[in-house]
Structure 1
Amino acid sequence: MVLSAMVLLVLAGVVVGAQALSRTATVSNHLSDRISPARTAVVEFRAALADQETGVRGYLLSSQRQFLEPYTRGIGEARAAVSRMRALLSDEPGALAALTAAEQEAGRWRAVADRLIAGHPAGAGPASMAVVLRGQDAFTTVRSRVIALDERLAEIRRDGRADLDRSRRVRDGVFLFLAAVLLAFIVVIAVLLRLAVLRPLSRLSAAVRRVAGGDFEHRLTPHGPADLARLGHDVEAMRRRLVDGLAASQQARDQLEQQRRELERSNADLEQFAYVASHDLQEPLRKVASFCQLLQRRYAGALDERAQQYISFAVEGATRMQSLINDLLGFSRIGRVHNATQPVDLDLVVAQVEDGLALAIAESGARIVRPALPTVHGDATLLTMLWQNLIGNAIKFRRPQGEPVIHITAAQADGVWTFAVQDNGIGVDPEFAGKIFVIFQRLHPRDSYPGTGIGLAVCKKIVEYHGGHIALDPAYREGARLTFTLAAAVPAAVPAEDAPAPAG
């Protein structure tokens, strides 16, 4: 209500002030654009009449025609001045009447002057003083009319100035009144804000701080204006939701704690299983394989070909079971046994992998092309397993003809390194892009390519343990291209896409 009243008052003051300003501007423009130029024209009119009188008197005293030139010129100037004054004083009837009287009197004087000039031919000698004085007496009446016109314009100017002063006083009074009323309204609004808003808001703020301090059971009771009361109710509703959320969160934490304990027990069981699998389960397999081999050697001559084949199958199955158990144990140990995170120089890691695969590289004629690799955060043993599996797979799954070429690239962005291992081998169909990372999933028969089918599953687990992501690039069809990411340990000083240098 106070703001509405203030707006109405300001609008009313603006209207009154605008009228006062308009009136001030009108009076000021009238004085400057009409009255002042009209008074200037009166001066010109008087000067033109004086030139006429001077020309007539000079002619009468000298009888020479050149003295009539001011008279002729003055007539034109007087008419121009009268025309200009009529245009300027069109809204001043009193001044126009005075101007008409002066113009008529000037016309009568010119009639007298023309008779005097006509009655005294050129070269007749000086006229008598009676003739000259008759012209001067006739001009005195014209001069008085012009003076009356000028006094009338001066009076109009004085009235205009007085009107202008009144308009200015009204304008200043309106503005001062508006300033005083606005100041009073500001004081009233400040008091109302203090009583109706700030005080209830302070109480609400204190209650909110109490809740924020941990007293979530403290209820908020808002007071004050409707908007502030609605805000208080909204805060109270938020407090209740927070209390409900905290209760649900505590229940969830209890459930998580219970699940953590169960997971710890499950991990302990898994550790026990790993121990049993690595000792108790492998021992019978070793015995089966050993005794089958002894049986094959001792009774080689007594057994027929089918029996020899059966024994070979048994030895092969036991050996394969041992490999599967060892690979499964290695897979389960990722992140549990090897978990020492530290800066790892991948350049050194890949060089060690190349040394370990030197025989396979030499036999296949493989060529590894790579840049200088960066340092990353991770476990050195796990990262060695990662690169060994990736490079080993690129060599294993080569084409029957031609030498395998393996390209390794690395690029950094936002503190993360993206690596790619690309070969020219038999490749992987994009429809199997997800299957190749599943444990013990093979795309080829065992007699075509050896192994248990766990290598890429190990790579996936190692990369995800380091917070990265590994995937097959389906757009690359000249072989296989695997990309993965690792966190950088230090900023790269040299761009990773520098010209690669062959290694291996």
Structure 2
Amino acid sequence: MPPESGSSSLAEPVTGADALPAEETTEPRSGADRPAPGPAAARSRLTTRRWLQIGVGAALAVLAILGVLGVWVLSHEGAVTDQLVDRQSSALVASIRYEGAMLDQETGIRGYGLSGRSDFLDPYNEGRAQEATALRALRTLSVTPRERADLALVTRRAEIWRTRIADPLSTAKGDAVTRLASERAAEGKVEFDALRAAMTAQQRHLTQARADGRADLHTVRTERNAVFLGIAVVILVIAVLVFVGLRRGITMPLERLAADTGQVADGDFGHPITGHGPADLRRLATGVEAMRQRLTEELAFSSEARDQLADQAEDLRRSNAELEQFAYVASHDLQEPLRKVASFSQMLRRRYSEQLDERANQYIDFAIEGANRMQALINDLLQFSRVGRVHEARVDVDLEEVYATTVSTLSLSIEEAGARLSHGPLPTVTGDPGQLGLLLQNLLSNAVKFRSPDRTPEIRVTAERHGDMWHFAVTDNGIGIGPEYAERVFVIFQRLHTREAYPGTGIGLAVCKKIVEFHGGTIGVDPAHEPGARITFTLPAQASEPETAEEDQGLSRSPRP
């Protein structure tokens, strides 16, 4: 078992030179001057694993000895029990059966001798069969010299009685039976009394042997109980020693280490961590102490870094304020010159188009188109920058109402495209109503814009509940999005088509991505959907909503505008 943690070999911390072997910390000595390592030094070098190996090995050795002793006691008890039950008691039973068989024979012979009737020989013949069975058992079970001598005497007396009395009478016929019986009546009585005396002596000896066997069994059982009681006491002592050893050698050093580290964790970074217990626990404490010193140095450095971060955060706040001011300027001051450029260009176009040639009119159209496109880009950039920065308080938003409002807003483009819109049941979520409306507006307008010329546009919006998230899908049968562009379409100003083919600034899906991520969801393109495109996105569900997904109860089509 590990030594007590209070001993000199374990209680004192081992740091610096004390942690090294003696030959590395002292001057070299000759073989005669160098002291031999003592038991305390040997114990101090033992690790937790070595202590456990020694303790477990000793405990297993003791348990093995106790197990062998217990097996021997049980085996001895079993042997004594078998001797009593299988041999001594069986031999006595066989002797009694043998006596009964001889009595049946004597009764049958005597009755046959008095009456001469052959039916009196039936008990005699049955007794002969029973005698043979009992005799075979006795010969098997009689193993001691006395038992063999008793059996030999009984069989000899039985043979004399049978030869002199039973066999002559059983073979006689008619009047010879009664005459022979009267002649040998006295002799028969003497011989059978001698046989009976021999059987009585045999049974007395067998009874005494069985009594001795019972006494031996009682003694063995007493020894067995004592041995198992001793085994239980030894096991209890081993358990106590193991508990005490683990407590003093491992648990208490770990508790002290935990107390030291807890004190450091509570803010006392100058508190030293000392090692106790086996060598590996002391090495662990030394490593933790080195880590504490390193962390103390790092904390001193990180305090400077925090000050720098605070300054940088202040710079970022100031920069954000300037960006907000820039957004305000862009939304008012920059748009005013663009409106003037566009307005005066249009006035030039109306008043002087007849006085200018075709190329000059084309230049004026280019100027008007550029100004309008610049104004659209500025408006879209403002819209993109406001997502997540300028928003209303989060409230419960009924997406059914948002969907209806969005369809009404896009009614003109939907009617021009001849698109058919439908949706499943839409839930109520928590978020910014304006931004969620903008999300649906961008997704539906994209589905209408990028329609296929070969088929009537069909657009459907669905929602399903999975756990604590709503999974939405906006599906169309338009020109679709290739898998290689599944990520690119959500990057700002990324266009897959020319401006002449499909108008726009290329910022709509980037705004959708920012809105969805601001609300704690994700958005992506389903590459497996054909034909057309399917944009999927998720939004957190309200805590009060059931977790079972709502199923579509049929098509709920919005009215054609």
Q: What TM-score do the two structures reach when normalised by structure 2? A: 0.80
Question: Are the structure 2 counterparts of residues 53 and 322 from structure 1 closer, same or farther at C-alpha, using a change threshold of 3 Å?
Answer: closer
Tell me whether 359-368 or 126-135 shows the greater mean CA deviation: 126-135
Answer yes or no: is the 8 Å Cα contact 1:24–1:164 preserved in 2: yes
Tell me, in whole angstroms, the C-alpha distance in 2 between the residues paired with 1:51 and 1:440.
124
Query: Which one-letter code corresponds to 2:492 in the other structure?
Result: I
Query: For the structure 1 residues 392 and 77, does the alpha-carbon distance in structure 2 shift closer, same or farther, using more than 3 Å as the test?
Result: closer
2:452 to 372, 392, 399: 399
Per the alignment, residue 502 of structure 1 pairs with 557
The residue that corresponds to 1:368 in the other structure is 421
CA contact 1:65–1:122 (8 Å) conserved in 2:
no
5 Å-filtered alignment, 1:461-472, equals 461-472=514-525
Cα deviation digits, residues 47-96 of structure 1 (max 9, x gap):
2222333334334444544444433443333233212211222x323212
For 2:336 and 2:171, locate their aligned partners in 1 and report how far apart those are by CA, in whole Å: 165
SS at match of 1:452: coil
How far, CA to CA, are the matches of 2:325 and 2:524 in structure 1? 33
Cα distance, 1:169 vs structure 2:
3.0
Root mean square deviation of aligned Cα: 3.0
User: Relative to 1, partners in 2 of residues 1:135 and 1:279: Cα closer, same or farther, differing over 3 Å?
Assistant: closer
Q: How does 1:233-248 map to 2 (within 5 A)?
A: 233=286, 235-236=288-289, 239=292, 243=296
Which whole-Å CA distance do the structure 2 matches of 1:36 and 1:408 have between them?
Answer: 94
Distance in 2 separating the partners of 1:64 and 1:6: 81
2:411 maps to which of 346, 358, 373: 358
Instruction: Say which of 239, 257, 281 aligns to 2:334.
Output: 281
Return the offset for 1:185: 4.6
Q: How does 1:252-267 map to 2 (within 5 A)?
A: 253-267=306-320
Q: Which structure 1 residue ranges, 5 or more long, are not aligned?
A: none
1:98 counterpart = 2:150: yes
Please state how far the C-alpha of 1:496 moved relative to its aligned partner.
4.4
Change (3 A) 1:105 1:325: same
Question: Which residue of the other structure, out of 409, 434, 437, is the alignment partner of 1:381?
Answer: 434
How far has the Cα of 1:115 moved from its partner? Answer: 7.6
CA distance in 2, matches of 1:186, 1:448: 86
Relative distance call for 1:230 and 1:148 in structure 2 (3 A) is farther
Q: Is 1:473 paired with 2:526?
A: yes
**Does 2:277 align with 1:224?**
yes
Q: How many residues align?
A: 503
Partners of 2:235 and 2:514 in 1: how far apart? 74
Aligned to 1:57: 110
Separation in 1 of the partners of 2:497 and 2:60? 86
User: 1:54/1:240 Cα in 2 relative to 1: closer, same or farther (>3 Å)?
Assistant: same
Residue identity matched to 2:526: D
SS of equivalent to 1:471: strand
Instruction: Write out per-residue CA displacement over residues 90-140 of structure 1, whole angstroms, 9 at most, x where no aligned residue.
Output: x32321221012101211122221586389863365678674222211222
Shift of the 467–79 alpha-carbon distance from structure 1 to 2, 3 Å rule, reads closer
Opposite residue 342 of structure 2, the aligned amino acid is A
Deviation track 1:160-186 (CA, whole Å, cap 9, x = no partner) reads 223323322332332233344444555
Shift of 1:488: 2.1
Question: Matched residue of 2:333: which SS?
Answer: helix
Are 1:315 and 2:368 an aligned pair?
A: yes
Match of 1:109 in 2: 161
Distance 1:157 1:232 in 2: 70
- Contact 1:21 1:167 (8 Å CA) reproduced: no
Mapping of residues 130-279 of structure 1, within 5 Å: 131-186=184-239, 188=241, 192=245, 196-197=249-250, 199-226=252-279, 228-233=281-286, 235-236=288-289, 239=292, 243=296, 250=303, 253-279=306-332
Q: Give 1:380 deviation, angstroms.
A: 1.0
Consecutive unaligned residues in structure 2, runs of 5 or more: 2-54
Write the distance in 2 (CA, Å) between the matches of 1:437 and 1:22: 84
User: What is the CA–CA distance in structure 2 between the aligned matches of 1:197 and 1:438, rounded to whole Å?
Assistant: 59
For the 8 Å contact 1:425–1:480, the answer to whether it is kept is yes
Amino acid at match of 2:263: R
**Shift, 1:252, TM fit:** 5.5
Deviation at 1:237, TM superposition (A): 5.4
Q: After the TM superposition, which residues 426-437 of structure 1 pair with which residues of structure 2 at under 5 Å, given as runs? A: 426-437=479-490
Deviation of residue 355 (structure 1)? 1.3
Contact 2:88 2:206 in 1 (8 A): yes
What is residue 45 of structure 1 aligned with on the other side?
98
Aligned residue for 1:419, secondary structure, equals strand
Task: For 2:364, give the aligned amino acid.
Answer: I
- In structure 1, distance between residues paired with 2:331 and 2:337: 11
- In the alignment, is the contact (CA less than 8 A) between 2:425 and 2:550 conserved in 1? no
Matched to 1:177, the amino acid is G
Post-superposition Cα deviations, 1:228-264, rounded to whole Å, max 9, x if no partner, equal 4355445545645655665676565445433322221
Cα displacement string for residues 198-225 of structure 1 (whole angstroms, at most 9, x for unaligned residues): 5545433432332232213312112233
Secondary structure of the 2:277 match is coil
Cα distance in 1, alignment partners of residues 73 and 319 from structure 2: 93
Amino acid corresponding to residue 556 of structure 2 in structure 1: A
Distance in 2 of aligned mates of 1:201 and 1:245: 26
Contact 1:63 1:126 in 2 (8 A): no
Q: Quote how far apart the aligned CAs of 1:495 are.
A: 0.9
Cα offset, 1:382, TM superposition: 1.2
**Distance 1:253-1:103 versus aligned 2 partners, 3 A rule:** same
Identity of aligned residues (%): 49
SS of alignment partner, residue 495 of structure 2: coil
Q: Distance in 2 between matches of 1:309 and 1:55?
A: 152
Residue 157 of structure 1 deviates from its aligned partner by 1.9
Given that residues 60 and 132 in structure 1 are in contact (C-alpha distance below 8 angstroms), is that contact kept between their aligned partners in structure 2? no
- Please say if 1:491 is aligned against 2:538: no
Moved more, 177-186 or 379-388: 177-186
Which letter maps to 1:326? N
Q: Secondary structure at the match of 2:334?
A: helix
TM-aligned CA distance change 1:481 to 1:302, over 3 Å? same
Indicate if the aligned counterparts of 1:408 and 1:419 stay in contact, CA closer than 8 A. yes
